[in-house]
Structure 1
Amino acid sequence: MLINIIEIIILSLIQGISEFLPISSSAHLIVISSLYEFKASSLLIDISLHLGSLLAIIFFFRNELLDIKNNQKLLLLMIFGSVPLIVVGYILYKTEMIYFLRDIKIIAWTTLIFGIILYFADKCRFDKKISSNLDLKTILYIGLFQTLALIPGVSRAGITITVSRFLRFNRFDSSKISFLLAIPALAGASVLSLKDIMGQSFEINYLILIAITLSFLSSYFTVKFFLKFINKFSLNIFVIYRIVVAIILFLIIYN
């Protein structure tokens, strides 16, 4: 029991820190769980961790979400932009293809490739803002590319920020688009497998409660930090991190 709790604490911190950064939370959860043979790791626990992140991002943007009158257009765009991810995610979940993608070799290559793409995207000059330039066509374009995040290592935050930067949105607005798109995306994933959480043993439910709580806290503070960070710095640190992680994974896989 104690070992499971320690594992959940580690996974919760990994989830909370990596979910909203362009480094792929799913890849980190899969790799760490695989390398260290975490017994507490499962798709069920992953869902609980994502639920914590969902609650955190809702709480962080609670004022905008509650002010529906002034933000109706933005909220509708976020919903429309998430439709492709929810549809493709549902298909992969029902066909169990989602499990096939949870492979360290795939993660290593996607971590490297999409890290390099992020580097070039972040070099684009920007002149667009959410308030005046985000429309249905643009959000659907971002949403279509967001489906690539179903492949661990791509990173949902990473691909949405990358596409937004290529579309010439500034770093802050690109990140805000990514964060807001996370709400329906994480909600869809949580609701899709809500039945898996119900009716579990007391131990599992206790671990789920810990996972949701710690994921919530670490996710909230990560979002708060990241929005301050990108106002002053580029995304190069995350590109370098992804390349280093990819190299380490390649050494593990091919040695």
Structure 2
Amino acid sequence: MALYHLLLVAVIQGVTEFLPVSSSGHLILLPNLTGLDDQGQVIDVAVHVGTLGAVVLYFWRDVRLALSGIPSLVRGRIDSQGAWLALCLAIATVPVVLFGLVLKLTGWDAALRSVTVIGWTMVIFGLVLWWADRRGASELTLERWSLKHAWLLGLWQAVALIPGTSRSGIVITGARFLGYERSEAARVAMLMSIPTIFASGVLLGSEVAFSADLPAARDGLIAAIFAFLAALLALTLMMRLLRSVSFTPYVVYRVVLGVGLLWWGYTVS
């Protein structure tokens, strides 16, 4: 792949993975709207690894806490805050894995990759995010995460498998409805992304592990590095902005882009 194409894919994935604007929707739109070739699964795996590295680094304190609780959880004991966090993350990941398998086995995942689907999900779930952010309470933190909330947010996260929904956006929406403060809703969403991105990367990686050659591996390394840097920058800026700014700017972007895509899908394509 040309270097500019790699950088474009990496930056789009890195910037949009953790902002509530849908990374998958933007990556699907890239070849549709620019005429560029699809980046392929090797690059998909690489940019997933890059963004995974960024969120792990940024939330390392929480990640380390969850990792420390895994041994107790494996032994069937929930005797620490780390074990509780690891259990909540595991429960929150189950719905998206099950729904992902259904989409994969039925072929619906490919059928949903259209400009009009992305346009509708951009608009609809953008407005739902705005509503949740305006009406949601702001009293809960990650430390008060319950198994019920983990399961409910896992169900919200599963909806993000529809392109254009935004994984982080839909989890933040659900968390705001449940009463989590803005930055805490984003924190929960980012931590939930770690096992989800890891599972997605393993799935994609298993499909390309024996087909990637040296040039593809080189391209993947470049894409992963730039996706990591872009994701870390976007994540840092968003978490800082949430101290003083609502999610409304992201909603406006989603609605404007969604309306444009609907116009494109129904009149041009």
Normalising by structure 2, we get a TM-score of 0.89
Q: CA deviation at 1:97?
A: 2.3
Q: How far apart, in 2, do the equivalents of 1:111 and 1:43 lie?
A: 24
Structure 2 counterpart of 1:58 = 56
Asked if the contact 1:22–1:238 (Cα under 8 Å) also holds between the matched residues in 2, the reply is: yes
Could you tell me how far 1:63 is from its partner in structure 2?
Answer: 2.6
Residue 98 (1) aligns with residue 129 (2): no
> What CA RMSD, in Å, does the superposition of the two structures yield over aligned residues?
1.5
Q: Mean Cα displacement is larger for which, 145-154 or 50-59? A: 50-59
Other structure's SS at 1:123 match? helix
Mapped contact 1:7–1:40 kept (Cα < 8 A) = no
Task: Please give the alpha-carbon distance, in whole angstroms, between the structure 1 residues aligned to 2:89 and 2:31.
Answer: 32
Aligned partners of 1:197, 1:221: CA distance in 2, in Å?
29
- Unaligned segments of structure 2, at least 5 residues: 70-80
Aligned to 2:92: 81
Match of 1:21 in 2: 19
Distance 1:156 1:43 in 2: 19
In 1, Cα distance between the equivalents of 2:38 and 2:251?
A: 30
- Are positions 1:190 and 2:214 aligned together? no
- 1:176 corresponding residue in structure 2: 187
**How many angstroms apart in 1 are the aligned matches of 2:158 and 2:38?**
27
Q: What is aligned with 1:248?
A: 260
Residues 8 and 40 of structure 1 are in contact (CA less than 8 Å); yes or no, is this contact kept in structure 2? no
Which of 47, 50, 53 pairs up with 1:49? 47
User: Contact between 1:44 and 1:196, CA under 8 Å: does it hold in 2?
Assistant: no
% identity of equivalent residues: 31
**1:44, CA displacement in angstroms?**
3.7
> In structure 2, how many angstroms separate the alpha carbons of the residues matched to 1:40 and 1:151?
19
Shift in Å at residue 6 of structure 1? 1.1
Whole-angstrom CA distance in 1 between matches of 2:14 and 2:170: 18
User: Separation in 2 of the partners of 1:45 and 1:33?
Assistant: 14
Q: How many residues end up aligned between the 2 structures?
A: 252
Which amino acid in structure 2 is aligned with residue 71 of structure 1?
A: G
What is the CA deviation profile of residues 12-38 of structure 1, one whole-angstrom value per residue up to 9, with x for unaligned ones?
101111000100000011112211122
Question: Does the aligned pair in 2 maintain the 1:122–1:162 contact within 8 Å?
Answer: yes
TM value normalised by structure 1:
0.94
Distance in 1 between residues matched to 2:223 and 2:106, nearest whole Å: 27
Pick from 121, 135, 142 the counterpart of residue 130 of structure 1. 142
Counterpart AA for 1:18: T
Q: Secondary structure at the match of 1:88?
A: helix
AA partner of residue 26 (structure 1): S
Q: Aligned equivalents of 2:226 and 2:207: distance in 1?
A: 20
8 Å Cα contact 2:41/2:208 also seen in 1: no
Q: Secondary structure at the match of 1:23?
A: coil
